[in-house]
Amino acid sequence: VTVGLLGHNSGPMEPLCDYRLSVPDKETQRIQEGCIVLGHILCTLIEQMMFPESVGVGPRRFSAKRISRLQAI
């Protein structure tokens, strides 16, 4: 599975991705900032799926119910 973090013009990378997360901006700086945020969110979700015992611990954790819905996607 390939997930692409893309900007306004995804160019030749788009057809190579199974899933595309796009930051709809033309400014490189904004696209980079958006991709950083998306990367952090993805890491948090993956960590919580791999280590469910940590769900609900610490700030801004997703609920177990929310994670199970995301796993179904």
In the chain, which ranges are E strands?
Answer: 3-6, 19-22
Please compute, for residue 54, the number of CA atoms within 13 A of its CA located in the half-sphere on the CB side: 12
- Alpha carbons 38 and 44: distance in angstroms, whole number: 10
pLDDT at 60 over 70: no
pLDDT at 63 over 70: no
Residues 6 or more apart whose Cβ sits within 8 Å of residue 28: 7
pLDDT at 69 over 90: no
Q: What is the pLDDT of residues 14-30, one digit of tens each?
A: 999 999 999 999 999 99
Q: What is the pLDDT of residues 27-58, one digit of tens each?
A: 999 999 999 999 999 998 888 888 877 765 55
- Alpha carbons 66 and 58: distance in angstroms, whole number: 16
Q: Specify the pTM.
A: 0.66
Write down the pLDDT at residue 48. Answer: 86
Inter-residue contact 19 to 28 (CB < 8 Å):
no
